[in-house]
Amino acid sequence: MRYFLGVTAIVLACSLGLAQQAPPQATAPAPATAPLAGQAPAAAPTSQAAAAPAAKPRPAPKNNFLLQNVRLIDGRGGPARDHVSILIKNGKIAQIVSGSAITLNDPDVEKLDLKGKTVMPGLINGHGHLGLTRAGRFSTAAFAEDTISSQLFHYQQYGVTTMISLGLNKDLLYQLRARQEKGEYGGTTILTADRGIGVPNGVPQIPVAEDQIYR
């Protein structure tokens, strides 16, 4: 039943505002300014300020949920089931029952009434391309981590939990895939094929891949 987790997470994120934030964009540091004439330069921070206590770390989010009143499509060919309860413990589905037969008094389990929401297996994009476009245009500059991270984030928000990037891949994508396999990189799961094969004045007709010659 683990394969439900992808879209279960999406239901939680999209319907309850728990979605991960889009990848942050880097910001340039504010330019330094010189003191005006007649002004003394700003004093350096004192050791007392430097020794201010660090902010306390935020507690880790709970990973235990009881989803109530969902419509369940289990992907096995049967009809959708209404008024289903799904217990998730430690990030994995522990129990699925019809109605509200699951009764819990566990304070570590957050109960969520998701009436009108649907839980289903994660969708799979069997033929896609990551890092081909930026702002709607094909560009070599689009094959960058910020673009790919944004695309994987949006895939996940639409319930696509796995995508296969076919051809035109560069080294960066294999590095991101390796980080995902170690649990160091989020977003929709990346599967890949190798680099694309093309010829001059042939296909693909877009300048997005590095020039290579094989004889």
What CATH number does the domain containing 145 carry? 3.30.110.90
Q: What is the CATH number of the domain that holds 96?
A: 2.30.40.10
For residues 109 and 153, membership in a common domain is answered with no
Rounded distance, CA 209 to CA 195, Å?
8
Task: Please give the Cα distance from 104 to 206 (Å, whole number).
Answer: 57
Number of domains in the chain: 2
Contact status, residue 109 vs residue 85, Cβ threshold 8 Å: no
What does pTM read for this prediction? 0.62
**How far is C-alpha 6 from the geometric centre of its chain's CA atoms?**
11
pLDDT in tens, the chain (215 residues): 434 445 444 444 444 333 344 443 443 444 444 444 444 444 444 444 445 455 455 455 568 999 999 999 999 999 999 999 999 998 899 999 987 667 777 788 899 999 999 999 999 999 999 998 888 888 888 889 999 999 999 999 999 999 999 977 888 999 999 999 999 999 999 999 877 776 777 766 665 556 655 55
- Domain range for residue 78? 2-17+61-119
DSSP-derived secondary structure letter, 43: P
Residue 45: inside a domain: no
